[in-house]
Structures are given as structure tokens and as C-alpha cells.
Structure 1
Amino acid sequence: MELSHLEPQIVWKNFAALNAVPRPSKKEEQVIEFMKKFGEDLGLETTVDEVGNVIIKKPATAGMENRKPIVLQSHLDMVCQKNNDVTFDFETEGIKMEVDGDWVKAKGTTLGADNGIGVATIMSVLESSDIPHPALEALFTIDEETGMTGAIGLKPEQLEGKILLNLDTEEDDEIDIGCAGGVDVTASKIYTVNYPQGQIVKITVKGLQGGHSGMDIHKGFGNANIILGRLLYTGIDTQNIELISIDGGGLRNAIPREANAVLSVRNSVEFIDEANSLRRAIMDEFAGIEKDLDINIETFTSAEKAVSMEDSKSIILVLKSLHNGVYRMSPDVADLVETSNNVARAELENGELKILNLSRSSVESTKFAVAEQLKSVCELAGMDVEFGGSYPGWKPKPGSEIVQIMEKIYEKSFGEKPQVVACHAGLECGIIGANYPEMEMVSFGPTIRGAHSPDEKANIPSVQKFWGFFKQILAEIPAK
């Protein structure tokens, strides 16, 4: 859909152009080429580093040469999630967008406003001829959503900027000065399988909101994998359960919206009756927040082999025991989640089990405390556990010069004070800061709702507000 009639026209035009290019995490070849061509067509110095980050440099406008050079940073990749009833290939298709009142959203998929609005904003100032700004380095990183390998691979000598503006947060009244780090926790095991002895049942959980596993983890949304584990547990001692398959959740940074399991039970009528009692209780629990939750438990047919009763019990106990949600609130920052875990993906197929978690924390010791708790539970069940993709948090510096400047501009422009906060999402600032410890950093952005889910949408008036705020910041960057 054409969005260039929306204001600011230049930002929406660039967002539409970006969203026409497939850009799943770890498969960013097309969008890297798109951004490289964008910079070169503008006649700007454009490079692609060895990991795939694109850096475009633009000299200061007249009269701004003595200001501190700025790094503008956003990530090129997007979370790829769709509703089950939507046919869409994120590797070959552009996002199909629509306007709904004050919001831009996609048709049954994630929108890519995270972090596409930030990317489009940077593109807009790069191609502008009438926006005052100091010397700019536009840093477009790759793979932020599934490992931050772009930020991790950035070399210390690549940037000269003194201030980094990260355009990757989702509340337009917030100035973000800190974030959580994270670590991937993966449990796996291969089991012997045989044809099941009992009657086949299928459990399906769907219709949950999902959402961002950092920013939304404290909101009480349902996790489909956890709900599935509760339902399986109802027959653990009486129904001789043999698990045939589990398919729950998807990406580590998205709260699971859907999950299903196929299993053999001793008596399907008894199991379904007992599980339906729990189903009704779960529906009541989530009635106020998960209005579209749908749980179905029914007889089924399957020719597949199953894991033994003993091993099935072990798997169910693990699903029932894994910590999910908030682990600890920050004792230092009001209302900030310090540490959490998302049981993101549960998969059992042909006897091969994988359970994927993402543990987050702004404190390294508690990040590994929750990860080690998960490891302990899984190892007690004989599973192999690996940690990977660990990245540091970003320690807040509330008194920095750029934060003070932005607070003053915001209050003058909008008649109220901004919220200066730290967030529980993973931002690239902590990683970049490790290589550039003297660089001042701040993150901000327009209002986006439902990131990492097909409900994602960007607020049109907020993008207008953000664009004006952003331009004013560029104009008031201090002297070197």
C-alpha cells in the first residue's frame, strides 16, 4: 500500500520502500543490497563491513561543521511472525500494509515498524537537503532480533561519532538510557520412539496475544507452551501418556501465541474430560487479558511413533517446571523488570526434543542465575543444555549531556517532561558501548504496539511527533 500521503511523507515513503524488501533476521542479503544502493545513489560514502552492517556517512550541513559527529543507528532485520490462517513468505514477499485510523499495520503479519521506522527516519535525513545536522554516520546493523551479531561484529575503529542515537524504542514519551542483556538457553535430547499403545488425542492452544518477550513479559500475557504443559500434566500419573509431537511457539524474542501436542493416552474420554476441567479454569484465569484464547482437546489419528511413557513424563515435568515470566524486579529502578525468561519454543518430532528459552537481565549475575536454574531443571531430566548468544546490558548514565539536551527539547516542544527510563528489551547500545566506551548513547522512537506479533502497528501521529523531535535534536547537538 502507498503510504506517502501520510505525514511526514518522506518517512512513510522510505518505510514503504524498505518494507517492499524481504528482511528476515539472518537472511538480510536483499536489504543489505537495498541500503547499499540507497547510499551510493545519494553519492554518499557507503560501506558494508565483513558481517553485513551498512555504514553511510554524510558531511555536516553548512554551519554545523564544529558540532559533535553523530551516529544514527537502527537495525535492518525484522521479526517474522504471521497468523496461522495467513499464507505469506517472509523471504520473498514485501509486507502488505494498511491504514486503520491513526495506525499503520500489516495484513496478518508483523509490520516491521520494529525497527523499520527507525531505519526509514535515518534514510530520510540522509536524502534530505534542508535538515540541519552535524556530520552523520548512519549505522544499519543486521541480525538484531536473533543474536545481535551485527552489533557484536562491529569493529572498534569503524565509527568516529561521539554521540549515538539509537532509534529503536516504542513509546514516544520515553528517553531510554539503559537496557537488558540476554542469553539463549537451549535444551535438547533425542529419545527412542515406538508405536504408541493408547488412544490418540490432540491439544491445541491458540489465539493468544504473544508480544515482545522483553517489553511485554510483565503484562501477564499467556504463554502457549506453558499452558500446553499444564494441560499435559493433568494426565501424567493416570493416563500412561506417550508424547508423539509438540509444536509450540517460534522465535526466542516473541511470547508464544500458539502450541499443540499430539499424544497417546490410556483412555481418551477420561483424559479429555479431566483436561477440559483445567481448560475451563485456564480460560477463566485469562478472561480479562486474552479474549481470543482458544483451547481445543479432541481425539485424533496419527501413524507416527511416540516417546515412551517414562520419557514423556520427564518432558512434561520439564515443561511444568521451567520458569517463565518475571524472575526479579529491579530494586533500583521503579517498575523495571530486572530479570526474566521466555520459554519461547518447544518442539518434539520423531523423538527429537528442543526447548528454546531467552533469559534477559540488566544484571549479568542474575541473567545467568535464571539461565542456570533452567539448566538445572533440564539436566535433572537428562537433557543437554547449551548457552549461546550472550550479550551485555547497557548501564544507564542519566546525567549525560545528550540526555539533558533531549529532556530540555522535549519539555519545550511538548509542554511536559519525558520519561527517562531503562527498558527490559535488548538494545544494541550495550554491545556497541563495549567497543566505544566514551560514546554517549540514548535510544528513543515513536509509539509502536504489538511488536514481535502480527498485531504490530505504528501510530501515525506519534511518528509525526518523533520526526519533529528528532530533527530538533540534530539541530541542537553541542559543539565539539
Structure 2
Amino acid sequence: MIENSLDKLEPKAIWKNFSALNAVPRASKKEERVIAFMVNFGESLGLATSVDEIGNVLIKKNATTGMEDRKTIVLQSHLDMVHQKNNDTIFDFDHEGIKMYVDDDWVKAEGTTLGADNGLGVATIMSILESDTIIHPAIEALFTIDEETGMTGALGLKGGVLSGEILLNLDTENDTEIDIGCAGGIDVTATQSYIAEPCPFDTLSFEITVKGLHGGHSGMDIHKGFANANKLMNRLLYKTNERYGLRIATLLGGSLRNAIPRESVAKVVVNKDHATAFTVALAQLAEDIKLEFATTEPTMEILIDKTDSAYATVVPVEVQENLINSIYAALNGVYRVSADFEDLVETSNNIAKVEVGADKVSIKCLTRSSVETSKFDLAHSLQAAFELGGFAVEFSGNYPGWAPNPNSEVLEVLKSIYSRLHGEAPEVVACHAGLECGILGTNYPEMDMISFGPTILGAHSPAERVSISSVQKFWDFVLEILKEIPKK
């Protein structure tokens, strides 16, 4: 059953606040409006509200009567969301609020990301802050910025701002799990400039499109066998260039580093004498690829369209060869699986965005690992592959992982409550996503940290959705945790 209203959903407080939050555009690095929204929210409740020089918002609330002897807790979520939409969706993220609807047990968005990551965490904290009936210890509500594209909010938070002894990060996506560790990451960027050449005579123009892929979170979904549009496009170009000498005019695949790329479009030219054989060979290769990925990518489309447009310039042959060979050589996906945690990806890479045009080639990757040495091992492997192709390589945005603490006091509290509520033990895990706990721990090394959340699927893609029943389960869990925070 599909309906547009969230008004009837329980718990009403969370869905009300989530709807209000989702009416505010909040892309990473464009959080001015959502910062103002949160400041107004805190001040309207008469709570101590401040914004640091980075843009993180801190709202403090005193303990309820009888809870003054409990440890102060930090409730933490990030304000920004990944802005992704399908190519055929008309939507302006800078000016429109997310259009949501209910489909059985799921809340979804109309052709865009939903913002449940991490909007439901934010909405949960808002619901606690505004309540006059919920029992809780003293609270420091920390809303960070720019988690999705650099974690600069967490990186910029100074020591001494927080006094809490326990941090509950509400930013994981499986309601059966309690997270005690995560991967760190580093951005790997390869660039190469060129002088465009005039398009050869006697050529025909084509547009090759890869679309309809699953996409998803480049950490949490990297092991699921989903196709990467950039790697698929490169495979198409490699084989047909090898046989028919195509020339690339422009290429654009993917968008954000933390999203597995779902779409790629290449504009190419081929000699008229080879055009028919080229299209036949490309169509056959496309069918082979779709067959390979029939299980994981059932909606994949690979389109080959002859165009009437004449492309003015193309990439020089040497640069084109370097580009195709380098992307073929560069690892995408899982590099290493953890030997210490069952079924945990330790190290991976996402070839997130490839852009060719305006006399420049750019390849953007996000490399993740829960082991620092392994993270840099893979980053250097990518660097070597790209430098062999004549690319300049830059590392940036490095952030640490979060080392698990199996002896955590608050972990034992959460495990006990979960088992009591549900009659079974939770899964205690580390995840391959990047959480802010590791970064925050550099300035607050003694803080006891745990991460958990409701069930969210398809994060960082237009398939993002959240389970309604899971949100109720999560809310009940949070309320019990607040009652049982240990004494000082």
C-alpha cells in the first residue's frame, strides 16, 4: 500500500521531526540552512545552543529529576545528507524538500535519496530534546556537519567542548547490530591535463550510456557484488577501442566518492568504415555484461545511440590509452577481508567519479580500511597504477578508523537491554562505513562510544528506504538506554 502522508506513523515525534528536517536542503558543504534550522530548534526550547567555528551545533539539556547522578551522555548525528537522484528525476536539491511516501513497511523518496542517513538520528535526538516526559541523564546533543564528503565537522571539533563520558552515535543501519568499530578512509584523486585535438574526419558520433545500476553506499555495500558504472564503461571502451580505434570526446561517470556509481555516459566517435561493426560488437559485449550481472543488476541498461551531433574535439590517443588502461588496472571493490571479524570487509576502494572534458581527466576514488597500514597500502597501489598512466595523484581527506573496545561499559548496558527487549542477543560488530567515532575519539580518547540505528537500506542511492517498524524498535531501545545510563 502506497500513501504520501507520514502523519500516522509511530513514533509520531520522530516522523514529525524527520519531515521537518527533510524540508530543509542539507547537502554536504551546503549546511547553512540546516544549521540555522537546528539553532532555531534548540533556542525555541530554551536550551543552551551554540555553533562552533566549523558549523557543528551543540544543544545541552539538563538531566531529568532523579537522573542527576548518571553520567552525561553525548547524543550525536550528522546534519548533512547525500544528494543523489535518478537521471530522469526532475528535482532541485538546493531549493526543494525531499518528497517522501509510505510503501507498506517502508518510507521512501520519489526518485532521490531519502536522507534517513543520518536524518533519522537527528530526528530522534530532536524528539528527546523537546520531550518533557522522557527520563534521561544530562545530554549534550552534537550535530556535526559534512560527514558525507570529508567529516570536516568531526575533524574540526575541538577538545574540551564536550564533557560527556559516553557517546551514542545514531548512524548505523541495521537494527539488530551494535557497532563498536569502523573503517577510516582517504580520498585518492588522479588528474591529467591535455590539449584537445580536432575530431578526425570521416567519423560518426555515438553516445554510450550505462544506467539502471543498484549503486549504494561505497562502504556498507561494497561487498555485495553491485556493478560500478565507471568500471563497466571502461570495459566497453577498452574492448571496442582495441578493435575499432574509437576516440573519446567526453566522459562522465558517477558523482560522489561515497556512492557506488550508478550511471556513466561517454561521447565517442568512430571511423565511418568501422561504425556498423563497432555497434554490433558493442551490443554483444553489452549483452554479455548484462548476463554476468543478471542477479545483482537486473535493471541494468547499456545504450548505444548514434547521434547527429558532431563533436568538435577528442582526447589525444596517448591520454585516452593511459586513461583506459589505468582504470582497468586500478582496483575497485574489496581488497582485503578482516581476519579478526567474521564477514567484515577490512579494505576496499570505490572508483567513484571519472570525468573527461575541458582539457582535463579526473578520477576520484575513496579508499577505506579499518587498518591504517592496509589503507595506505591500497592507496599506494592505486597511486602506482595511475602514475604509470602519467597521472598526477593526490591524497586528501584522510581520517582514522575507530578501534573496537570490547570491554566498553556502555556496550554491556546496551547488550543487556536489547536481550531483555527482544529475547535474543544483538550482533556486536564493526562496520566498513566511515563513522565519526574514530575522529571524535582523537580529542576525546576516554569517551566510551557506541553506534546503532534503525534499518536503512540503499543509503547513498535513490533506492534509500527505512523500515517503519524498525524505527519504532529503535526508539523503544533508545528510551530504555536513557533510563539505564551508568552512574558517575
Kindly report which structure 2 residues correspond to 1:42-441, keeping only aligned pairs within 5 A, or say none. Answer: 42-197=45-200, 198-266=203-271, 267-300=274-307, 301-441=309-449
| 1:190 Cα offset (Å) | 1.1
Secondary structure of 2:241's partner? Answer: coil
| 1:296 Cα offset (Å) | 1.0
Secondary structure of 1:220's partner? Answer: coil
**Which amino acid in 1 is paired with 2:345?**
V
Distance in 2 separating the partners of 1:54 and 1:233: 48
CA contact (8 A) 1:305 1:350 kept: no
Distance in 2 separating the partners of 1:68 and 1:47: 22
Secondary structure of 1:13's partner? Answer: helix
| 1:268 Cα offset (Å) | 1.8
After the TM superposition, which of the residue ranges 198-207 and 332-341 deviates more from structure 2?
Answer: 198-207
| 1:241 Cα offset (Å) | 2.5
Secondary structure of 1:271's partner? Answer: helix
Distance in 1 separating the partners of 2:350 and 2:136: 41
**Which amino acid in 2 is paired with 1:291?**
P
CA contact (8 A) 2:181 2:404 kept: yes
CA contact (8 A) 2:77 2:144 kept: yes
CA contact (8 A) 1:70 1:137 kept: yes
Which position in structure 2 is the counterpart of 1:34? 37
Identical positions, percent: 59
CA offset digits 1:139-176 (Å, max 9, x no partner): 00000000000000000010000000000000000000
CA contact (8 A) 1:244 1:350 kept: no
CA contact (8 A) 1:58 1:137 kept: yes
Secondary structure of 1:262's partner? Answer: strand
Which 5+ residue runs of structure 1 have no aligned equivalent? none
| 1:95 Cα offset (Å) | 0.6
Distance in 1 separating the partners of 2:471 and 2:319: 52
| 1:2 Cα offset (Å) | 4.3
After the TM superposition, which of the residue ranges 196-205 and 253-262 deviates more from structure 2?
Answer: 196-205
After the TM superposition, which of the residue ranges 293-302 and 62-71 deviates more from structure 2?
Answer: 293-302
CA contact (8 A) 1:200 1:268 kept: no
After the TM superposition, which of the residue ranges 307-316 and 29-38 deviates more from structure 2?
Answer: 307-316
Distance in 1 separating the partners of 2:108 and 2:240: 42
CA offset digits 1:409-461 (Å, max 9, x no partner): 00000011100000000000000001100000000000001100001011000
| 1:404 Cα offset (Å) | 0.6
**Which amino acid in 1 is paired with 2:392?**
D
Distance in 1 separating the partners of 2:325 and 2:331: 12
Which position in structure 2 is the counterpart of 1:478? 486
CA offset digits 1:340-370 (Å, max 9, x no partner): 0000000011221111000000000111111
**Which amino acid in 1 is paired with 2:294?**
A
The reply on whether 1:14 has 2:12 as its aligned counterpart is no
Which 5+ residue runs of structure 2 have no aligned equivalent? none
Secondary structure of 1:35's partner? Answer: helix
**Which amino acid in 2 is paired with 1:347?**
E
Distance in 2 separating the partners of 1:268 and 1:58: 69
The number of equivalent residue pairs is 480
Secondary structure of 2:253's partner? Answer: strand
CA offset digits 1:269-288 (Å, max 9, x no partner): 12222222211110111111
| 1:235 Cα offset (Å) | 2.3
Q: Residue 448 of structure 1 is aligned with which of 456, 460, 470?
A: 456
Distance in 2 separating the partners of 1:204 and 1:22: 29
CA contact (8 A) 2:223 2:334 kept: yes
Distance in 2 separating the partners of 1:470 and 1:371: 38
**Which amino acid in 2 is paired with 1:407?**
K
Distance in 2 separating the partners of 1:386 and 1:53: 28
After the TM superposition, which of the residue ranges 433-442 and 197-206 deviates more from structure 2?
Answer: 197-206
After the TM superposition, which of the residue ranges 441-450 and 316-325 deviates more from structure 2?
Answer: 316-325
Secondary structure of 1:235's partner? Answer: helix
**Which amino acid in 2 is paired with 1:257?**
R
**Which amino acid in 2 is paired with 1:213?**
S
Distance in 2 separating the partners of 1:13 and 1:2: 11
**Which amino acid in 1 is paired with 2:224?**
K
| 1:41 Cα offset (Å) | 0.4
| 1:242 Cα offset (Å) | 1.8
**Which amino acid in 2 is paired with 1:287?**
A
Distance in 2 separating the partners of 1:190 and 1:239: 25
**Which amino acid in 2 is paired with 1:225?**
N
The alignment's TM-score, normalised by the length of structure 2, stands at 0.97
**Which amino acid in 1 is paired with 2:120?**
I
**Which amino acid in 2 is paired with 1:243?**
I
CA contact (8 A) 2:25 2:95 kept: yes
| 1:55 Cα offset (Å) | 0.1
